[in-house]
Structure 1
């Protein structure tokens, strides 16, 4: 076949994913053949997918490609497996069908078994379940905040209480999206009342230092997140994006080993783990198995893209 791309690396992403942009540039730099499939452009693709071999032949704009188990070495999967779009009245029945079937197609790439995955959607699905994350973290020896799930606000035996969603909650607000952040309350001020959906009720960790840990196989890169004025962050740090600075730090060996072991429990090769340092203890908060890291590279200069591409190109 002439003028057909046989990629050794496949990127599953979307048009506006900066982490995938970094990976694509690094793959180019290392002269590694790759194909990037953006989920928000799938309607414009033509595909023939034989899941029994498996092989995918397709075209997009002026690119023809063949994804084959004989030539494909790895897949960088930058897509959550839970469909988090809140039902929207303005989406037609046709558009709902299109979205659901292309999402199913993307998950079906799991038939490519004997390759390197960062990460396989089957493993991502399990790792995205936050109560299960906490269960595994506690089982292997991480410190974990005391946690309850309820649809009623409860007073727990700690000075502060954190209320957070069980799953990532992104809400459609017409032309904009709303993100549900973690809220921190003084326990004494909480009024017990019932709500229509459940949520996490967690021990509030105050004072704290937030740490984002990016794990790529056995490499652990930890970044502490703090305000530019060096004051403590008592709220969800994602609300303070313009006021933050970042610094690479070295974690204790036992904490690094726990991070590596945690990924192995879920059969993951990549993950973004959120830790909190409080009262001289490192607490596990959650993991994102398709976690964002481009903002860390931009703010620290550390070459996360190089580490990830090296893992994809083994």
Structure 2
């Protein structure tokens, strides 16, 4: 028999394309692309949830073995009157999130857990209490405090949420930037931002991907000393081992956040590993492709490990 996994995502999610093409020999995938919601017929009743895609497939929530909640996007609603669109978007989110929340099967990761785990203030608070080494940090909407903080040492600024902004003709990604100490910090009163003391990456950056208790650590050496994610950065990757006490701290943070998947970012300077953030729904396929680590298999294992086929 096949395992039945519901994956909630969007139509351009190449990671899900990869999972379906790679693991369909023993998994039956039920894929919902939220941006194409009109392709699906979903019913929520007192008895449970029925999901269908036309005449292609139909399944009851009670028959699903696990759920993988990915990165969704909303449908194009431009054909509707503009004053209704915000309400429609909220209703779609409540619809989809409510369905995922009410599944009592293994899930990576429920939206309510993601919302808390993605919050940078929550991460800073818990990581500090656990004993992670963290660059000196300031999250504020106060321009005076931000200016004073940035005058003391070279500092970087980054968004509190996903720095993805829709602009004419596409999307713009707001990434980490060095603060110019000669310029006044402005525009924060309605735009709280995350400032940190710049840490020199003398020993590289590290992406540590953890699924359950399986750890994949990769060192990243980049031509861009501020943010290796920039398009023009030339990056070099190698799998490495990291100290067990760092892994144990990651486990404890994941337990506190109630997540079973986490993509951790560290900077190493000397013998110290500086925690930057953890993404509980981070991208991982690029690492699997570049260095050959089997993250996808670990995700599948995590989803089906407690499933008993009948």
Match of 1:222 among 217, 221, 226: 217
| Structure 2: gaps of 5 or more residues | 306-310
Q: CA deviation at 1:237?
A: 1.2
Which of 143, 163, 184 is the equivalent residue of 1:191? Answer: 184
- Alignment partner of 2:225: what SS? coil
Counterparts of 1:1-314 in structure 2, within 5 Å, are: 8-29=4-25, 31-50=26-45, 52-53=46-47, 55-69=48-62, 71-79=63-71, 92-151=82-141, 152=143, 153-156=146-149, 158-185=152-179, 187=181, 189-193=182-186, 195-196=188-189, 197-208=191-202, 209-227=204-222, 233-240=224-231, 243-314=234-305
Q: Describe the superposition over 1:26-71 as per-residue Cα deviations: whole angstroms up to 9, x where unpaired.
A: 3303x12221111111122111112x44x322322432312323x2
Alpha-carbon distance change, 177 to 194 in structure 1, aligned in 2, over 3 angstroms: closer
Q: Is the 8 A contact 1:26 1:305 kept in 2?
A: no
Deviation per residue, 1:135-166 (Å, 9 max, x gap): 11111111111111223132337531011111
Secondary structure of the structure 1 residue equivalent to 2:161: coil
Instruction: Name whichever of 98-107 and 248-257 sits farther off.
Output: 98-107
What is the Cα-based RMSD across aligned positions, in Å?
2.5
TM-score, structure 2 as length reference: 0.86
Q: Distance in 1 between matches of 2:55 and 2:22?
A: 23
Q: What secondary structure is seen at the aligned counterpart in 1 of 2:24?
A: helix
**Residues in 1 aligned to 2:227 and 2:74: alpha-carbon distance in whole angstroms:** 21
> What is the total number of aligned residue pairs between the two structures?
295
TM-score in terms of structure 1 length: 0.85
Provide the C-alpha distance between the structure 2 equivalents of 1:270 and 1:91, rounded to a whole number of angstroms.
Answer: 39
What do the CA deviations read for 1:277-301 (whole angstroms, capped 9, x no partner)?
A: 1232111111111110011111111
User: Helix, strand or coil for the counterpart of 2:86?
Assistant: helix
Structure 1: distance between partners of 2:90 and 2:217: 36
Q: Distance in 1 between matches of 2:285 and 2:99?
A: 25
User: CA separation in 2, counterparts of 1:84 and 1:76?
Assistant: 17
- Point out where structure 1 has 5 or more consecutive residues left out of the alignment: 1-5
Larger RCO (alpha carbons 8 Å, 6+ apart): 1
1: CA distance, partners of 2:31 / 2:186: 48
CA distance in 1, matches of 2:231, 2:221: 10
